[in-house]
Amino acid sequence: MHMIIILMYICICNAITERQVQAAVAEGASSLADLQAQLGVATCCGCCADTATEYLPGGRYVDQATTVQAAIPDFHRLVEKVALCA
Ligand code: FES
């Protein structure tokens, strides 16, 4: 039996995954500044800031596991933004 693990990257510049962001929020991060300080998310090009913010209290991804299908549009937008920043 094989297990497939899908890592959803929120911040491509710093290789920060959705699970890392969710863990930081579960441990008390409540602002983008908290996520930046704890993980370094959105500290390079900043293109991931809006997506990372959606995992904070009040965001659309709070308290729910993001399905790959739901996250794909955000991922494509992020890739497009990072490509524009490069
Ligand atoms: S994608 Fe997060 S800082 Fe660039």
Local structure of residue 78 (DSSP, 8 states):
H
Q: Is the pLDDT of residue 33 over 80?
A: yes
Give the pLDDT of residue 70. Answer: 57
Q: Are 22 and 30 in contact (CB under 8 A)?
A: no
Give the pLDDT of residue 9. Answer: 92
Q: Measuring from each residue's beta carbon to the nearest atom of ligand 1, which residues come in under 6 Å?
A: 11-14, 41-48, 82
The conformational region for residue 4 under phi > 0 = left, psi -120 to 50 = alpha, else beta, is beta
Categorize the per-residue pLDDT at 86 as very low, low, confident or very high, splitting at 50, 70 and 90: low
Distance 36 CA to ligand 1 centre (A): 11
44-55 pLDDT per residue, tens? 999 999 999 999
Give the pLDDT of residue 75. Answer: 63
Q: At what angle do helices 18-26 and 32-39 cross, to 10 degrees?
A: 110
Distance 85 CA to ligand 1 centre (A): 10
Pick 9-85's CATH classification: 1.10.10.1100, 2.60.40.1080, 1.10.3720.10, 2.40.30.20. 1.10.10.1100
Mean pLDDT of the region 58-71: 69
